[in-house]
Amino acid sequence: MSNERLIRPWSELMDSGLLWLVNRQVFHPMGFSLSLHLDEHGEPVGWSIIGDGGEICAFPYELEQEYFDKVQATLDAYRRPPAGYVRPSMVPVTALRTHRPDGVEVVLVRGETIPDYVPDRDIIAALLAKGDA
């Protein structure tokens, strides 16, 4: 693989879906987001962590699927799939981590009642019900 394929501009983190993937897997379950700051030309000039760890971050299913497809396309460009390879669809999530007001971590599981202290509990319950969190 040539260096051209290995070294990519920072702006491609957003376009490729990789920023979404890092956020979805690392930051969003902990109530944070990694954010890139752009200049007037749309080029990244810095980054920051946003959020306070108090709310689980999630996107609507359609947007999640769009970003998942972007990540798959990005990674497909780097992989040589074996014969008969079928690209997987998004894997449903059946649980989400959050924290009680006193800081104790809890796991919200599909089918259980979402406690009142959970921000956006109706949205979280709907996502868990669909398995699209």
Indicate whether 53 and 29 sit together in one domain.
yes
Give the pLDDT band (50/70/90) at residue 3: very low
- Mean pLDDT throughout 44-57? 88
Indicate whether 84 and 108 sit together in one domain.
no
Range of the domain at 32: 1-91
Indicate whether 131 and 69 sit together in one domain.
no
Indicate whether 12 and 63 sit together in one domain.
yes
- Mean pLDDT throughout 102-120? 71
Q: What angle do CA 129, 26, 42 make, to 5 degrees?
A: 105
Name the DSSP letter for residue 1. Answer: -
Give the pLDDT band (50/70/90) at residue 83: low
- Mean pLDDT throughout 1-5? 50
- Mean pLDDT throughout 98-110? 72
Give this prediction's pTM: 0.56
Judged against a pLDDT cut of 60, whether residue 4 lies above it is answered with no
* Spatial distance between the Cα atoms of 90 and 71, rounded to a whole number of angstroms: 11
Taking alpha carbons only, the member of 55, 71, 61 closest to residue 120 is: 55
Give the pLDDT band (50/70/90) at residue 119: low
Q: What is the pLDDT of residue 42?
A: 83
